[in-house]
A = this chain, B = another copy of it.
Amino acid sequence: MRQHKLALCKEHYLEWMPEQTERFIKKYDMFTHYEKILVAVSGGKDSLGLWDILVRLGYQADGLYLGLGIDEGINYSHESRRLAQKFADEHNLKLHIVDIEKEYGQPIPVLAEKSHRGYGKPCAVCGLAKRHEMNRVARDLGYDVLATGHNLDDEAAVLFGNTLSWASEFLLRQGPVLPSSDGLARKVKPLCRFYEREMTAYCMLRGIEYIYEECPFAEGSQSIYYKELLNQLETARPGAKLTFYLRFLEARKTGDLFIEQNIEQAHLHLCPKCRQPTSTDDLCSFCRMIEKVNATA
């Protein structure tokens, strides 16, 4: 790991990763051993690696798999679900499964098409649905915390995109912890300081079988483009990605660059259908999208 000037053997690497994760959890006040954690599990290396680490650290962590109904000729959802279930079974862990098609009548690509959101790609609808369902399940099943597997590459790419357009609202919110509010579970990203390749190495060394493919719809996406640019930068200067992300968090904390985030969410009220908070006057975006799809059906 050039950014840390550190090289470890298998045994020590597999100790180092949970130790580091525990440090980040404490540093950013993510959660305690007394809280119930719901890990969003996609079947990929990051989320399975995260679940594995949290369980090894003794946290109460169950999984949530969202069946999106994405096939695209590679059986993407089916295969990712199989691997998530396999991991849960082998480790004797509880995995909640929500199938979007069963819940809402259509898989993600059809919801996206019928609702005409997102310029021909289902990614916007998929993000909306995932956020909605994670919040719903965490609330309905009484979890305190929602943990996602976002790694440093993910976080740096999002930060890079928000920085290129100086998107104030997002820049003032982005971080490893999004506090709970209006009945929504706290959201945390315990892997936010690990490089993607560190997660790959962890899963390989732990023998965790995960889905190698990215979601087929991710191809050509903005975030992948930003990741490539940041990888160039990282190659030229090892550690650049980590510095970019950590100095940003530091600047946010010290208050000598950014204003304080306006903590009060602007007049949120509860969606009359799903009872999740929303900034719109009526139905939340997700319920509106579902209504629209049903109206055209």
Contacts and interface: CB of A to CB of B under 8 A. Distances in A.
B164 A251 contact: no
Nearest to A167: B247
Contacts of A168: 251, 254, 256-257
A16 interface: no
A172 B254 CA distance: 15
B259 A166 contact: no
Contacts of A243: 164-165
Nearest to A243: B165
Interface string A249-284: 011001111110000000000000000000000000
A259 B255 contact: yes
A236 B240 contact: no
Number of copies: 2
A254 B244 CA distance: 24
A191 B255 CA distance: 32
Contacts of A172: 257
Given A225-B236, A229-B229, A233-B229, A165 B247 contact: yes
Given A164-B233, A164-B244, A255-B259, 19 more contacts: A163-B163, A165-B243, A165-B244, A165-B247, A166-B248, A166-B251, A166-B257, A168-B254, A168-B257, A171-B257, A225-B236, A229-B229, A229-B232, A229-B233, A256-B259, A257-B258, A257-B259, A258-B258, A258-B259
